[in-house]
Structure 1
Amino acid sequence: MTPPFLFTPASAMTAIAGRTGIQRFEYMIRHGSMKAGLYAPQNRDEQGPHKQDELYVVVTGTGTFEKAGQTQTFGPGDLIFVEAGVEHRFTGFSDDFTCWAIFWGPDGGEA
């Protein structure tokens, strides 16, 4: 059987149903150094820096993103890049906030 290659926010939300807080995350795809999942935090974002470079693709909701002392508002369709090892978090986000989180590359990020 061929593994799936198309994932929807709805199918990912089914996978994280019943989870709370930072646990509202599920990897849907893994290939080589790349992994991607849906992140849907509730109330607050407690994550810290990651070992790999990361892209967020906002699916639903709005809020503010803080990265290395800078703050930017975001909304559906926005793409956010975070280098490996950099402090970042979502703040003041709406209850319906979801985003794809895509990690890739070596620990420490790419040059």
Structure 2
Amino acid sequence: MHTFAFPLAAARAAPLSPDRASALLFEYGSMSLRYYAPDKVDRQTPHDQDEIYVVASGSGTFECAGETAPFTTGDALFAPAGAEHRFLDFSDDFAVWVIFYGPVGGEA
């Protein structure tokens, strides 16, 4: 994979990181790009960096810090560092690009 282009097909084929439920695709400074496609249940816990999700495929509901919002392919979602968040009632084809960035604890 190039360091400037990240095809969806390559992301889908990338191996999961040993300690994570997502595949690491790229790192640059404090930013990392990952691909996440949970199987039936999203069991993630809060992360120590801010993150942006871009929905690669599927639909469902995103819950973050006690609020919920529907999402579909192409939507972008934000979870601040430390916030409880998860995907609910998502379709079988659901997957997201995940962009972690910034300092531990999140941006000011």
* 8 Å contact kept, 2:32–2:101: yes
- Identity among equivalent positions (%) equals 51
Aligned residue number for residue 4 of structure 1: 3
Aligned residue number for residue 43 of structure 1: 40
Aligned residue number for residue 97 of structure 2: 100
Aligned residue number for residue 91 of structure 1: 88
| Cα distance in 2 between the residues matched to 1:107 and 1:47 | 17
| Cα distance in 2 between the residues matched to 1:16 and 1:92 | 25
Q: Alpha carbon RMSD of aligned pairs, Å?
A: 1.6
Aligned length: 105
TM-score normalised by structure 1 residue count: 0.89
Q: Which runs of 5+ in 2 are unaligned?
A: none
Task: Map 1:55-66 to 2 at 5 A.
Answer: 55-66=52-63
For 2:14, what is the secondary structure of its paired residue? helix
Q: Which runs of 5+ in 1 are unaligned?
A: none
TM-score normalised by structure 2 residue count: 0.91
Deviation at 1:4, TM superposition (A): 3.1
Q: Which runs of 4+ in 1 moved over 4 A?
A: none
